[in-house]
Every structure is written in structure tokens, then in C-alpha cells.
Amino acid sequence: MITMERINFYKETSFKDTEIGRIAEDWKIVMLDEKVDILDKYRMPLKEQERKEKKGVYPYCGANGIIDYINEYIFDGEYVLFAEDGGYFEKFEKSAYLMKGKFWANNHVHILQAKNGLINLFLYYSLIYLDLTPYVVGSTRKKLNQSALKSIKIPFPPLEEQKAIAKVLKDFDDLLEIIDKQIKKLERIKKGLMNEYFTKGIFKHEKFKNTEIGSIPEAWEIVKVKDCIYRIISKKGLKENEIKTSGKYPIISQGKEKILGFTDNQKEIINEDLPLIVFGDHTCEVKYVNFPFAVGGEGVKLLKPLSDIYPLFFYYALKKFKPKAEHYRRHFKLLKDRIILLPSLEEQKAIAERLKAVDDLIETKQKEKEHLERAKKKVMDLLLSGKVRIKN
């Protein structure tokens, strides 16, 4: 486990107002053109077929990360890569990343290398911290061209302070990486358990039967989803301008996010027949909701399973056997004809509770990650403005 070593911080009292905001009085402001080599002339795009022919171990990089791996490279060293175009400017944390070692880069990403007293890691954190919207041009397809890139202004503390700031923020990222790996491991475990539980079950079974979906315990039923549903609720959801960032009741949509927003509109609240299973008609997202809520947006189907089907098991069964989302088509009619497996009610409960135990661990880790991300954001604001300094 990585732990942050003891660091001595102190509050700064002397500041100056600059074009990039209020910063420590003894810090400078510099343009990237003064402190960064822009190596875009060396980058080169490859078509997908060319990448297939060059399959290998070196990263092929684009605007928002590694796209592929090929057997050749252009760059070798430590660089900051920054998106030039595309839909990558909605959230700048995803538009800059650090690359070390050998790699190839296409023409959608700027290649930056710090110089003249600026270090790459500090450059990276500065770029994801600053509001770079004024430098981006275009409405349909946003772009950060090279001339605008050169004119970007960043804070420039003394070298040793840059190193100290970068070290603190890198410690946060290292911890976040560990949590990410833990979440991915738990998700792999859950996937493996689902494969086992939905073929062999949890209880001891002596006899199995061959079916259209493989070998399963003889006592299990094979049924279509539509034959498991007692009630289907289609409700017109709240519009975007009715969704608040806080409120008494959560809003559930068909998107990936667990909660879209909040409302205080009592008339829109669903608090009967709970728990309900939410199915996204366009997205195929499946959610288990056991609390009063409102629906946001369109395409939400609310499903109530039959009384002899454990709702939490039905939720996991739908996640396992749902159709694959295809663009923005309607999928509910496909879902209704999908086949799922039905063990006894007792075994349904046992399967569901074991899977929920893993989901609870995943949720705990996700909350831990969110808490750490909020802390990192606050620390970035303090350190990259000089409001809090680090004693060397």
C-alpha cells in the first residue's frame, strides 16, 4: 500500500492577481512556448489496417489515451500528451496524460516536453488544473491548435517546489490507481461468480440437463423474461430543466450513472411496488431501485417481477442475460423474449445475496475513490495557486 510521507505545509499570505487567477506573489507566469518543446512535427497517423499490420507492444496514442499497440515507435522518453481536437474538452482531466518510454502518436494529440526549469509532471498537473476553454476554438468539433497551445499561460514556481507539488499530487494518483485496480478485480470476481451461479447454482445439485443455453441443474426452469413480469410501468420522465443537483428525491434515468439528479416534486415520485427493476430501452442499462424515486428522461421501463421471483435475483438475471445495446434502437421488445434461468426461490435469494455482497464491496471502493478525487481536487487548488506552500 502506498502511503504519503510526512510533508510540511504552510499557508501563504502574500498574493498577486494575474491573468490566470490569484497566485503566490513570488511565483512567475510563463507561456508554454517559453518552457515547452512542442514536437508535433514527428507525430504520424496510421489507419486501422496499418495498425493491424504493425501489431506489437508499443502504445499507439491519440487524443484521449492509448488506442492500440504496434511494433514501431516514434518517441522514447517522458512526455506530456495533450488533445488537439475531438470531444475531449468537456473534461480536461481526460485530455492530458503523461507517457514514458517508447510510443507512437497520431495527429490528434500534441507532444509536449518541458524544458528551461519546468518539469513534465508539474506541466501535466497544470494543464489539467487550469481552465483552458478560452484557448479552444470551434463549436461542432472543438480544437486546440498549436498557436493557441503556445500561448497558454501556467504558474511557474521554483523548481524544487514544482517537484514537491507534483510529488504530492502523484501520491494521490497512485492511491487512486490502487483503488481502480481493486475495483476491477472485484468486478472480475463478480463476473466469474455470475457465470458459475447461473450455470451450476449455489446449492448442491446431483442432476443436470442440457438446454439451449448449456448444462444447468435439472430442477431449474428456463423461462422468457416476459413470463416473469407482473407489471410494466412506462412513465414519462422529468425534462432536463426539471432536474436539480440537490433535493428530497433521487431521479433515475436509463443512463450509466446511478442517480441522474434530484427533485422535490412529490407528484412525480414512485413509491409503490418497490423494489422495481429499471431497464433502459435505448441503453440496456439495468438498475435495482428499492427507494422512492422519480424518472428522468425517456426510454425508462420499470419492471415488477412475479411474487415467486426474488426481485434482486431478477435484477442480476437481467444483467446476465440482457441483449447487447445497439446504437439508439429500442431494446425492450428484445429483452422480453430473452431466456433466463429460474432456480427455487430459496436458491434465488442465496445467489442474489452473494452477488450483492460483492457489489457492496465495489460500492464501498467507488465511494472511497470519489472521496479521494474530491480531496485531490481541493489540494490541487491550494497547491497550484500557492495558497498552501510546501517547506523544502
Domain of residue 226 covers 221-342
Question: Cβ neighbours of residue 320 under 8 Å, at least 6 residues apart?
Answer: 194, 198, 340
Please report where in the chains the cell 413470463 appears, as a residue.
227
Q: Is 95 exposed, middle or buried (0-12, 13-18, 19+ CB in 10 A)?
A: buried
Q: How far is CA 321 from CA 284, 324, 335, 341, in A?
A: 11, 9, 8, 9
User: Is the model's pLDDT at 91 over the cut of 50?
Assistant: no
Residue 83 belongs to domain with CATH number: 3.90.220.20
Same domain, yes or no, for 33 and 148? yes
Total domains in the chain come to 3
Same domain, yes or no, for 106 and 36? yes
In angstroms, the CA 345 to CA 342 distance is 8
Please name which of 278, 254, 279 lies closest in space to residue 335, comparing C-alpha atoms.
279
Same domain, yes or no, for 1 and 114? no
Same domain, yes or no, for 83 and 170? no
Q: Which of 99, 132, 156 is the last residue of a domain?
A: 156
Same domain, yes or no, for 123 and 185? no
Range name among 84-93, 107-116, 200-209, 342-351 with the lowest pLDDT average: 84-93
| 55-62 and 96-105 strand pairing | parallel
Helix/strand number for the chain, H first, E second: 8, 23
Higher pLDDT: 288 or 84? It is: 288
What is the grid cell recorded at 1?
Answer: 500500500
Mean pLDDT of all residues in 10-38: 95
Task: Output the pTM of the full model.
Answer: 0.86
Contact 129, 384 (CB under 8 A): yes
pLDDT at res. 119: 98
What is the grid cell recorded at 182?
Answer: 481493486
Same domain, yes or no, for 277 and 369? no
Q: Which of 156, 177, 195 is the last residue of a domain?
A: 156
pLDDT at res. 327: 79
Same domain, yes or no, for 44 and 144? yes
- The verdict on residue 72 lying in a domain is yes
User: Is the model's pLDDT at 90 over the cut of 60?
Assistant: no
DSSP SS3 for 155: strand
- The verdict on residue 174 lying in a domain is yes
The three-state (H, E, C) secondary structure of 63-128, written as one string: CCEEEEEECCCCEEEEEEEEECECCCCCCHHHCEEEEEEEEEECCCEEEEEECCCCCHHHHHHHHH
What is the grid cell recorded at 7?
Answer: 510533508
User: Is the model's pLDDT at 288 over the cut of 50?
Assistant: yes
- The verdict on residue 215 lying in a domain is no
| 294-295 and 249-252 strand pairing | parallel
175: left (phi over 0), alpha (psi -120 to 50) or beta: alpha
pLDDT at res. 1: 43
| Percent of the chain surpassing pLDDT 70 | 96
- The verdict on residue 375 lying in a domain is yes
- The verdict on residue 209 lying in a domain is no
Largest Cα span, the chain:
78
Same domain, yes or no, for 123 and 60? yes
- The verdict on residue 214 lying in a domain is no
Same domain, yes or no, for 272 and 387? no
Mean pLDDT of all residues in 120-124: 97
pLDDT at res. 5: 60
Same domain, yes or no, for 123 and 33? yes
Query: Ranked by mean pLDDT, which of 119-123, 124-128, 206-210, 233-237 comes out on top?
Result: 119-123
pLDDT tens readout for residues 211-267: 988 899 999 999 999 999 999 988 889 999 999 999 999 999 999 999 999 999 999
User: Is the model's pLDDT at 329 over the cut of 90?
Assistant: no
User: Is the model's pLDDT at 4 over the cut of 70?
Assistant: no
